[in-house]
Amino acid sequence: DAFCPEYNKEALSTELGSTWESLSICFKTFPAHITAHAPLMATLELLNVHKLPLSDIARITIYASKKVVSHHNIKQPRDIMQAQYSVPFCLAAGLVVDLRDPDNFSSDLLENHSVQSILQKIDVREHDKAAEHSWHARVRVTLHDGQAIEHDAAQFRGLPNMPMSDNDISTKFQLLTKRVTVPHHLLSDLMKMEDLQTLPGMV
């Protein structure tokens, strides 16, 4: 009654055991706003495929949703919390440190000269082509020699239709638990949950 005047208790158990909402969950790779994931992964992919050093980059253009342009194009975040909502800052930071590790997303990044240098090269624009969804992003990296390369990240690692690999999950688990002592079997038990719908029961 605290939330709505009408409710249906039976709906809580509808399709229980047959419909798995966990299959539609998006898992973040980085401790950043979800709209920063596609641009960062796309840029990292371009640099990896073309074997490019950061010094070759003249400009990075991100094509994203209208909301990203209006709400997440924060050029100079005031603190680390605001930085996590800044798509250009997350991209710049992710090219300098490994953002898969939450410990690397620290306030030190706000004054990091390499991050600030890359940040000045990033331009965020609204999509000039049809987008598949609100997290869809396209990245164009322009090099000092004038060459431009692009990567379209309509899908990215962590989405339901592009799930993390076992190695991704293992790495994420180890990074998030590195400060605590966990039973040696906990990771293997976690991996078994990949086939949760086939397990006879859980205790």
pLDDT digit string (tens) for 34-59? Answer: 999 999 999 999 999 999 999 999 99
In a domain, 12, yes or no: no
Q: How far does CA 115 lie from the centroid of its chain?
A: 18
- Give the pLDDT band (50/70/90) at residue 1: very low
Q: Are residues 45 and 129 in the same domain?
A: yes
> By the 8 A CB rule, do 63 and 127 touch?
yes
Considering the chain, what percentage of its residues have pLDDT values greater than 70? 88
pTM value is: 0.83
Round to whole Å and give the CA distance between 183 and 174. Answer: 12
Round to whole Å and give the CA distance between 132 and 137. Answer: 9
Domain that holds residue 74: 34-153
In a domain, 193, yes or no: yes
Predicted confidence (pLDDT) at residue 18 exceeds the cutoff of 60 = yes
Q: How many domains does the chain have?
A: 2
The DSSP 8-state label assigned to residue 67 in this structure reads: H
